[in-house]
């Protein structure tokens, strides 16, 4: 009975935001006269003379108290700082909250601290006939050295080497839980009655890292895409152990598009990956948010095999330069110059080394962003018969560059069609 009462108190503490908050709040300090200095108004010379004549003392009138340590303006500023402190600390608190994420298709359990994955363990989930239920749960109880009762015979096996639960149990819903096992060879397979089995050393480590109330998310995702610390995007495709999720190339492309790399994996490669469904990592490219002259672009900068690729039409729009595409020669032609281009799934890219020729732009990685800026060019454009220097930040006067217009082949119309092309 005492155990149940203690557990109830602990649950109450968790509902109020954790054991660390289950204490009385410190009293708010209310200023008193002891914290103030009282300024006294001295009587005027006329008032003193009148007092001498009448024989009465002149009362000194106190004025409004002022804080002794600082002027009123500073007090207000300090109050605003104090109000801002909890708001600033809130994201830090959230970033340290732990969450268990289980992917049944991958047969893995990940422990997150905020958005950072800090542990990854293999598991043995339910069989296809007794699958582990997907959903959102919480750890409801934790037990050391649990006993197990057979659902078929009703026989109870105490904790020990013969107990199927191992030496740790974390309940997530009803009879479902995360626990150890006396059959380590079963880990990595669909073997249980719906519980999550773990190696004993892993479950004991996890047991110490989480608390009652820790969220538990159970999903079934055959496609997993991750962005590593160095900005490399990697994806995995797992077998359909439960027969719940048929995959198509379009499905995988949608997952990759969310990370900005769908154009850098061919449909043929994706088909082979689905066919294999081996759960092995495929490293695609490094991806960076793209900024041009301080403005964020819709598409991203992508570095693959040591080459930085940039979305050509995004750059053209950003610096107000018309752009054309010669499909036969695989050339990008702008009103500033021409260079090799790359058509990746109907999206046109240029290489970083050619950005200066096409757009008078250059860039580099800055704080996990790819930042591009206008680069002045000493050379005069050969596109203008008058040899006037072309400013890439200004709209080109197409009446002047008639020769370039003929070479580009009605750039305005092609640019519009290219825009439509990128939307497909």
Q: Answer whether 113's CB lies under 8 Å from 229's CB.
A: no
Q: Answer whether 287's CB lies under 8 Å from 293's CB.
A: no
Q: Answer whether 98's CB lies under 8 Å from 210's CB.
A: yes
Q: Answer whether 381's CB lies under 8 Å from 389's CB.
A: yes
How far apart, in whole angstroms, are the C-alpha atoms of residue 222 and residue 240?
7
> Across the strands, what pairs with 332?
325, 339
Q: Show the beta-strand stretches assigned E in 269-375.
A: 282-292, 295-304, 307-311, 323-326, 331-334, 338-344, 347-351, 361-366, 369-374
Q: Answer whether 149's CB lies under 8 Å from 181's CB.
A: no
- Is there a catalytic annotation at residue 189? no
How far apart, in whole angstroms, are the C-alpha atoms of residue 351 and residue 111?
39
How far apart, in whole angstroms, are the C-alpha atoms of residue 291 and residue 315?
9
- Which of 6, 29, 163, 195 does the annotation list as catalytic? 195
- Is there a catalytic annotation at residue 6? no
In sequence order, the 6+-apart residues with CB closer than 8 A to the CB of 3 are none
Q: Answer whether 209's CB lies under 8 Å from 119's CB.
A: yes
In the structure encoding, which two tokens stand for residue 90, read together? 């809130």
- DSSP 8-state assignment for residue 381: P
Buried b (16+ CB within 10 A) or exposed e, 245-274: eebebebbbebbeebbbbbbbeeeebeebb
- Which of 179, 320, 350, 398 does the annotation list as catalytic? 179
How far apart, in whole angstroms, are the C-alpha atoms of residue 103 and residue 116?
16
Distance, C-alpha 66 to centroid of its chain: 48
Q: Answer whether 235's CB lies under 8 Å from 282's CB.
A: yes
Angle between helices 267-276 and 249-257 (to 10 degrees): 110
Closest CA to 359 of 380, 343, 373, 379: 373
List alpha helices for 136-287, DSSP H.
Answer: 200-209, 249-257, 267-276
- The residues annotated as belonging to the active site are 179, 195
């Amino acid at each position: 009975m005492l155990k149940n009462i203690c557990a109830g108190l602990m649950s109450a503490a968790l509902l109020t935001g954790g054991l660390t908050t289950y204490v009385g709040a410190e009293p708010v300090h209310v200023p008193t006269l002891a914290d103030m200095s009282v300024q006294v108004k001295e009587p005027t010379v006329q008032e003193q003379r009148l007092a001498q004549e009448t024989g009465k003392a002149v009362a000194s009138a106190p004025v409004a108290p002022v804080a002794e340590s600082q002027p009123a303006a500073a007090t207000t500023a300090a109050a605003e700082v104090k109000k801002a402190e909890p708001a600033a600390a809130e994201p830090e608190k959230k970033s340290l909250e732990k969450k268990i994420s289980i992917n049944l298709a991958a047969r893995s359990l990940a422990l997150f601290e905020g958005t950072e994955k800090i542990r990854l363990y293999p598991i043995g989930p339910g069989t296809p006939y007794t699958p582990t239920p997907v959903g959102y749960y919480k750890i409801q109880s934790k037990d050391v050295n649990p006993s197990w009762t057979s659902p078929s015979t009703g026989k109870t096996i105490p904790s020990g080497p013969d107990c199927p639960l191992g030496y740790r149990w974390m309940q997530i819903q009803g009879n479902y839980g995360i626990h150890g096992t006396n059959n380590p060879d079963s880990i990595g397979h669909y073997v249980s009655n719906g519980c999550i089995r773990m190696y004993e050393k892993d479950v004991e480590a996890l047991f110490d890292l989480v608390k009652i109330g820790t969220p538990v998310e159970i999903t079934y995702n055959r496609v997993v895409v991750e962005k590593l610390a160095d900005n490399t995007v990697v994806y995995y495709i797992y077998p359909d152990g439960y027969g719940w999720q048929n995959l198509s190339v379009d499905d995988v492309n949608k997952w990759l598009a969310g990370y900005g790399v769908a154009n850098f994996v061919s449909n043929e490669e994706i088909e082979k990956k689905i066919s294999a469904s081996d759960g092995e990592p495929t490293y695609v490219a490094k991806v960076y948010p793209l900024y041009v002259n301080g403005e964020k672009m819709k598409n991203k900068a992508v570095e693959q095999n040591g080459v930085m690729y940039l979305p050509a039409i995004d750059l053209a729009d950003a610096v107000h330069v018309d752009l054309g595409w010669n499909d036969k020669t695989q050339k990008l032609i702008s009103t500033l110059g021409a260079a090799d281009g790359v058509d990746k799934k109907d999206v046109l890219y240029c290489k970083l080394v050619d950005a200066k020729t096409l757009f008078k732009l250059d860039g580099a990685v800055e704080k996990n962003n790819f930042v591009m800026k206008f680069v002045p060019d000493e050379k005069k454009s050969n596109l203008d018969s008058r040899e006037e220097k072309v400013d890439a930040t200004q709209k080109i006067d197409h009446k002047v560059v008639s020769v370039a217009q003929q070479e580009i082949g009605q750039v305005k119309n092609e640019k519009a069609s290219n825009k439509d092309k990128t939307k497909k």
